[in-house]
Chain A
């Protein structure tokens, strides 16, 4: 079973994402901010990360840059999932090593399409 780490400070978003991803046969881990997410990745690298941008403690972009430095940290497919929906943010995320980008609000079709895009389904 493929694994996905859902990183978002909103428990509602995590719950929605969990429901969609479980439906798509992923095993889910959750983190509330970038720091927690890094710890989770250090313990076990997921196949995918669904990543919010604005979070307390450590934001999504900083997490991504730290993740890519970890051993095995190049492997997870990182999909941003954020309300930041302008070209500048998207380009910045891609430059930092994000594989895909979801602009909120999202639904099942979009999550599925993006997971297909990164080759996980």
Chain B
């Protein structure tokens, strides 16, 4: 593979999935793309890259994008997000929604462990859900992982990382070396292929969004853009959960960390004074509010345009914010 081919592949992956491939991932490309090349009857990665160029082979493009994603997941990953869900989010929803439908989005669901962990949490806490009903939408860019998720078969290894044995006994049936999650849990989750780089407008509104361990693969601008767009898909009191190595800090003001709750963020519209209207804020997509303010002085007109996002005390602390 020539340096030109490598940089073509970097650009291709970034454009198609957001993935930022650093300059030292030659080995990864070899190991993940050679099987695809062979399957397509091609001898080398260079030939494969040749085929990707232009609008040629859609199937091949998809295969390459999917092969380069990292799909590792496990049940109740990091534990605390699911504790936050049961201990903080559900009581809040029961309190504020009374009745009705709560929508949860797992925005990078991979092989299903995350949405199924949520579904099991709901089952286990059925008595605490008040009159609410829950809908779990699980999406991922990769069709392959979604097929696995839908089938719900997990290896002995997979069911032992993070899944309490009581839940294994309760919600899984054994088929030889594999374990299949129960139909009652599977039916609680709806799977759809979806690329986070695409517009969310058809997705509807969500009370809770799990977007975990996917933004780490993207560059700053893409992270900011996605999080700002996620904020628009939720009501003012919506919650976002990120992975253990992910944060909103320095990327967007659309969410605020919930103090003492690692990985849990609330919509800043709800956090900043509870007066926000659901259609705001009007922050330019792809540009963090921070950099927006940092790069130029803020005129009075702009403060009026975004009253709900920033409290006046925060505005006055921004250099050049208010003179």
Contacts and interface: CB of A to CB of B under 8 A. Distances in A.
Nearest to B179: A87
Contacts of B165: 90, 94, 100-101, 117
Given A94-B169, A102-B160, A113-B162, 5 more contacts: A86-B174, A87-B173, A103-B156, A110-B160, A117-B164
Nearest to A91: B169
B177 to A, nearest CB: 8
Contacts of A90: 165, 168-169
B171 to A, nearest CB: 12
Chain A interface, DSSP helix/strand/loop, else mixed: helix
Interface string A63-97: 00000000000000000000001110011001000
8 contacts: A85-B156, A86-B174, A90-B169, A102-B160, A106-B160, A110-B160, A110-B161, A117-B164
Nearest to A118: B164
A121 to B, nearest CB: 11
Interface of A: 85-87, 90-91, 94, 100-103, 106-107, 109-110, 113-114, 116-117
Given A86-B174, A87-B174, A114 B169 contact: no
Nearest to A117: B164
B203 to A, nearest CB: 33
Contacts of B160: 102-103, 106, 110, 113-114
Interface in B138-168: 156-157, 160-162, 164-166, 168
Interface residues of B, number: 14
A57 B166 CA distance: 29
A113 B161 contact: yes
A106 B160 CA distance: 9
A107 B160 CA distance: 10
A116 B157 CA distance: 16
A70 B282 CA distance: 66
A117 B169 CA distance: 15
A101 to B, nearest CB: 4
Contacts of A86: 174
Most buried by A among B74, B165, B169: B165
Contacts of A106: 160
Contact of A94 (B79, B156, B157, B166): B166
A24 to B, nearest CB: 15
A85 B169 CA distance: 12
A116 B156 contact: no
A87 B74 CA distance: 21
A121 B165 CA distance: 17
A102 B161 CA distance: 10
Contacts of B169: 87, 90-91, 94
A106 B161 CA distance: 10
Contact of B79 (A91, A107, A116): A116
Nearest to A88: B174
A86 B165 CA distance: 12
Interface string B58-97: 0000000000000000100001000000000000000000
A91 B168 CA distance: 10
